[in-house]
A and B are shown apart, each in its own frame.
Chain A
Amino acid sequence: MEIPYTISNRPDTGLWNAKIGIWLFLASEVMLFGGLFSAYIFLRLDAPAGVWPHGLLNVPVGTMNTAILILSSVTVVLAWASLKMRRYRAYWWYMLVTILCGIIFLVVKLAYEWPQKFDHFGAYIKPEALEKYERYLGNHRLAEKGLPLRVEITGHLHNHEALADPNIKEYEIGLDPVNADPSNPAMDRPHFLYVPPTDKVGTIEKADVERATMFLPTHSTYFATYFTITGLHGLHVFGGVVVFIYMWLPVSKRLYQRNPEHLANRVEVCGLFWHFVDLVWIFVFPLFYLL
């Protein structure tokens, strides 16, 4: 006996096997990311006022990556439609675009966005020393307007060795614009375009610092959730790209010649996964980049 319904539909369910399989898999993926987003909500609700950071990520780059993922979702569905219309050539091109989009997304994420964060520095000031750094924080004006106070000074760390060497007593920071010009009302809300650290150098004594790290996962629960969720999402993108490359290689041509519907089914299943990855990003993007 052979396993039935691998390509054709079972009459009473109207579905072939892998279609059910992928949807069940996606259901479990929904629960996986559900757990992560649930943790995000829990931690964000638990965070004291003003501690959850805003505007630390590069919005234009994030927007571009979102657009790339959406584009790849369109091309993968077009690739599937091409197969349904038995146009292998078009399928091949659409698939290539999808793969390239996935690779671009990953490269932007791993080679540009993440390293840029790893290279950024932030120092949380002890509550009793906040007054001392008023010139970088501008808290008097914020308190007047009823806005949450700033407790962190960020920028480019000039003396990297200060992180490990206990003999160095202070951090020298090329200040971010918000700390370079804290009384400017334009700094109260995040910027759309990324503004690099300024030339203005601030000096912060280690004794006044509660905690100072680069923008690593350990920096805050915000970055912890950001790196975990985008990392896991990135793994999904990577998995999708690997499978798509397999579907695009000459093996797929041979399968197409043997049974085009079988290849179309495979592409449909992988496409469903890819759309799901896109769907997760649709929520990740505003939650981390914008809000």
Chain B
Amino acid sequence: MNPGRKIIEVNNLVKHYEAIHAVSGLSFFVHEGEIFGLLGPNGAGKTTTLEIIETLREKTSGEILVDGLSVDKDQNAIKQIIGVQLQAAGYYPSLTLLELLRLFGGLYNVSVDPLQMLRQVGLEDRSKAKYKELSGGQKQRFSICTTLINQPKIVFLDEPTTGLDPQARRNLWELIRQIRDKGTTVVITTHYMDEAENLCDRVAIVEKGKIIALDTPDKLIDQLVAQGFERKREVKKANLEDVFLSLTGKEWRDE
């Protein structure tokens, strides 16, 4: 794919929590229109990095530009052009999906057609359900739905598929690709490598607050193979997930 212009630029980002160095000198950039993955084990600093870019957290030092806007000076302007999905829920549990979408319409000062929004994520038949009544996969799709309300240039998804079953994960990947195909840049964190390999155009691997590798999934794999890496066991043509999906069907269902 043709790399677009740099829509996010992170330069030497540092974040200390008292004695803990959560992020120690991260630098990377995200192209417009790509799905960019931040990979790494729990506690590597993925979420902290994401929340600093989202202007939810103060940084200790470093420079960040989001669509040319500085996180130090233009926080509100940045908030208007991004969509944010948090790792855990963030909605009034007893409100219906329609009511919540109207709320977020108001928060972004945009008039939305809530049903049309829900149709995009396949939840229009749940419009009158309360948020707390949704299944795990439905909650994640609704959460992504709210990030699209202001027609953002960039959406940030923090571990959107954690805890979902294989069908729901695949369904969510499809949704995320659709968002990218409409021209929206997607930044996603995950600790599932199959997810990154399937979904991301480029990935950065974060370890102890530092980036230790950054490239397309293909090139990273090629590099490893070129170093003479071999899997201990010959890979079969299918894996257990393929077995599971062929037995239970690929159709995503409402739990």
Query: Is the pairing of A and B real?
Result: no
